[in-house]
Structure 1
Amino acid sequence: MDWIQALWLALVQGLTEFLPVSSQAHLVLASLLSGEVYQGLDFDIMLHAGSLVAVVLYFRSELIQMARDWLRSLVGGPKTPDSKLAWWIILATIPAGIAGLLFKDHAEAALRSPVIMAWALIAFGLALGWADWRFRGQRDEHSLRLRDVLIIGLAQALALIPGTSRSGITITAALFLGLNRESASRFSFLLSIPIIAAAGLLAALDLSESGFESGFGVLFIGFLAAAISTYACIHYFLAFIKRIGMLPFVLYRVFLGLLLLGFAL
């Protein structure tokens, strides 16, 4: 992999990781267009590490406050909206974590095909549009209850189906529960942090057995480009989502799904 290919793939990863459009489907489409395997395990880890660093930096103030209040709540301190939100993120991560440990290998082997990705893009894209049009309300992430958190957590487990989009399915679930667009997106992005970190750790353990395939320069370019593009994507998505709504992403998902079907059939 040369640096131009590394830069291109990192930008695709960074710009689609937190949009409700499935970064995985875009990387598969890139491999179909180029006729090559899009990346190795070491490069994949660096892309996700870049995205993780970006989301942590973007929400650093919120995360610091949540961590402080959560730690105080462990030693008898007062319960605050931020400590409660920290507990909700932990609880909502559990279903996806269990599903990942039990079914990840099976899902990747049995479901990783352009046809399945295409139908997942279309079906869950339409669900996103329906939730945004029919059920979206004015609740924010601090109004979440235990039942809501478990529903969002179970929805996140569906992201094991390639083409679903982790951010897309969690935003969809939050909209179905009456959250507004900005709050649904913020909770989805915060919820991504433990999942990306855990997936990266497991991948790093696999990498320790297989060894590195890419050069340092390519890995650094991938990490930096993914971090910068992810940060920009989160910033502009949250800045404009109230104005533009979810319809552009729904239409794009349907278009991308049909495009993948055209390549696969």
Structure 2
Amino acid sequence: MNETMTWLQAIVLGGVQGLTEFLPISSSGHLRIVSEVWFGDDAGASFTAVTQLGTEFAVLLFFAKDIWRIILAWFAGLRDATKRNLDYRVGWYVILATIPIGLLGFLFKDQIRTAGRNLWLVAIMLILFSFVFIAAERFGTRARPLEKITGRDALIMGAAQCLALIPGVSRSGATASAGLFVGLEREAAFRFSFLIAIPAVLASGLFSLKDVFEPAGEGLAATGPQIAVATLVAFVLGYVSIAWLLKFVSHHSMSWFAGYRIALGLLVIALLATGVISS
């Protein structure tokens, strides 16, 4: 029998989701850490997936013009080969990049909800992937804008998105790092990262909706109103964090986030090792 979530927990965790979803610091990892440190329990993978709907609605609103233009261009290109422009290709690239995580997410959904939420794993991934960010900044040429993206780039970034199934990695961090490795500009890598996350996160959230009130495995059980409020909080803070992040990465390295991740990972390991929190 799962413990019932309180209103404070729902609001705090919705806020954590909104603030961390788009930053390359792992929203699922932060939700797991915060729920354990503050509340002594796990919010659950289903709660995480459903509140991500709020942040994805923020993406849909923030990039509404771009998304609508891409959709129109994609359908126009299907009917008329002369209209197959950049937006048409980006539409296909988003579909291509979504396939890997769709397959792996379905095959390993049970592991994601149980063993994958171990705090030792979260802490280790926070630290290890920080060095991937640093390497991406060091070796990426950052020479190509979004207009120069290719199908190969999309497939590589889509494969990297699969790593987001592991709490502590970060969806935006993994995909943006892959974008830097293939030579995209930092802002272009993040913009495409947000676009390819939309189908995967929406599908994951809708698929998990039926489980969030009675979590499979460990996890706090939330009521409908609590889920609605948490998702709304995630939406508002998510929209703000998108705007801030795109401005930040246009002038600053991802290494800033790597430093934070390493410090947090070491802190979690210390708390686990001393028995202050359980894994």
TM-score of the superposed pair, with normalisation by structure 2 = 0.88
Shift of 1:70: 0.4
Secondary structure of the equivalent of 1:243? coil
Instruction: Structure 2: give runs of 5+ residues left out of the alignment.
Output: 274-279
Match of 1:29 among 29, 33, 39: 33
Moved more, 106-115 or 221-230: 106-115
Cα 1:198–1:216 shift into 2, 3 Å: closer
Q: Do structure 1's residue 113 and structure 2's residue 118 form an aligned pair?
A: yes
Preserved contact between residue 47 and residue 212 of structure 2 (Cα < 8 Å):
no
Aligned to 2:256: 248
Q: Do structure 1's residue 227 and structure 2's residue 232 form an aligned pair?
A: no
Alpha-carbon distance in 1 for matches of 2:104, 2:49: 20
Shift of 1:155: 1.0
Preserved contact between residue 212 and residue 221 of structure 2 (Cα < 8 Å):
no
Aligned to 2:62: 58
Cα 1:209–1:10 shift into 2, 3 Å: closer
Aligned to 1:20: 24
Preserved contact between residue 42 and residue 214 of structure 1 (Cα < 8 Å):
no
Match of 1:5 among 6, 9, 13: 9
Aligned to 1:122: 127
Shift of 1:23: 0.7
Match of 2:193 among 171, 188, 191: 188
Alpha-carbon distance in 2 for matches of 1:29, 1:15: 14
Preserved contact between residue 40 and residue 214 of structure 1 (Cα < 8 Å):
no
Shift of 1:38: 4.2
Instruction: Structure 1: give runs of 5+ residues left out of the alignment.
Output: none
Moved more, 219-228 or 59-68: 219-228
- Per-residue CA deviation, residues 103-135 of structure 1 (Å, 9 max, x unaligned), is 232344333211111111111111111111221
Alpha-carbon distance in 2 for matches of 1:177, 1:106: 30
1:171-182 matches, within 5 Å, as 171-182=176-187
Alpha-carbon distance in 2 for matches of 1:146, 1:53: 26
Alpha-carbon distance in 2 for matches of 1:50, 1:37: 22
Shift of 1:139: 0.8
Alpha-carbon distance in 2 for matches of 1:76, 1:3: 52
Alpha-carbon distance in 2 for matches of 1:112, 1:216: 24
Q: How many residues align?
A: 265
- Per-residue CA deviation, residues 57-76 of structure 1 (Å, 9 max, x unaligned), is 00000000000000111112
Aligned to 2:276: none
Cα 1:120–1:214 shift into 2, 3 Å: closer
Q: Do structure 1's residue 204 and structure 2's residue 209 form an aligned pair?
A: yes
Alpha-carbon distance in 1 for matches of 2:144, 2:50: 35
Moved more, 250-259 or 45-54: 45-54
Bigger proportion of residues as helix? 1
1:39-78 matches, within 5 Å, as 39=43, 43-44=47-48, 46-77=50-81, 78=83
